[in-house]
């Protein structure tokens, strides 16, 4: 029963994200709205981590299975994609390197800020 309640909380926040996506005319996916709402609710204490922790762990555990339908869709579109294969590979590599570099820089910045706060 606990898992059902936790899943309902996550689904309710996802629904709010979907509604915001429909109401706000920005090119932001509904899932991002939902993640920001959940993150804010967790940070402010509006939702306790224990209220969604076990179901969150379960969803992360089964996440690889969520990629199967997308992969099958890509395989079905192979005849279209193979014309653009080089472009797809280059874009994927460049965007991966950019994301890795930005993530590293942001992480270093946050660590430095925290270290400065501890020294003060």
Span 12-61, pLDDT tens digits: 999 999 999 999 989 999 999 999 999 999 999 999 999 999 999 999 99
Instruction: Tell me: do 6 and 41 sit in the same domain.
Output: yes
Q: Provide the percentage of residues in the chain whose pLDDT is more than 90.
A: 80
CA quadruple 65, 70, 76, 79: dihedral positive or negative? Answer: negative
Q: Does residue 120 register a pLDDT over 80?
A: no
What pLDDT is recorded for position 75? 87
Going by pLDDT thresholds of 50, 70 and 90, the confidence category of residue 64 is very high
Instruction: Tell me: do 77 and 99 sit in the same domain.
Output: yes
CA quadruple 60, 61, 65, 67: dihedral positive or negative? Answer: positive
3-state secondary structure of 27: coil
Instruction: Tell me: do 2 and 51 sit in the same domain.
Output: yes
Number of domains in the chain: 2
Instruction: Tell me: do 75 and 51 sit in the same domain.
Output: no
Q: Which has the closest alpha carbon to 37: 57, 58, 11?
A: 11
What pLDDT is recorded for position 73? 87
Instruction: Tell me: do 3 and 53 sit in the same domain.
Output: yes
Instruction: Tell me: do 46 and 71 sit in the same domain.
Output: no
Evaluate if pTM is beyond 0.75. no
Which residue range is the domain that position 26 belongs to? 1-61
Instruction: Tell me: do 55 and 81 sit in the same domain.
Output: no
Going by pLDDT thresholds of 50, 70 and 90, the confidence category of residue 87 is very high
What pLDDT is recorded for position 118? 85
CA dist list (Å): 33 to 29, 36, 40, 81: 7, 5, 11, 30
């Amino acid at each position: 029963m606990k898992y059902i309640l936790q899943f309902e909380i996550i689904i309710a926040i996802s629904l709010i994200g979907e509604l915001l996506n429909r109401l706000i005319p920005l090119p932001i996916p509904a899932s991002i709205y939902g993640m920001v709402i959940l993150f804010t609710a967790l940070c402010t204490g509006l939702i306790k981590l224990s209220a969604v922790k076990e179901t969150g762990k379960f969803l992360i555990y089964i996440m690889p299975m969520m990629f199967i339908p997308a992969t099958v869709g890509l395989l079905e579109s192979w005849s279209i994609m193979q014309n653009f294969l080089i472009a797809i590979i280059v874009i994927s590599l460049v965007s991966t390197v950019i994301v890795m570099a930005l993530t590293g820089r942001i992480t270093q910045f946050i660590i430095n800020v925290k270290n400065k706060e501890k020294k003060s």
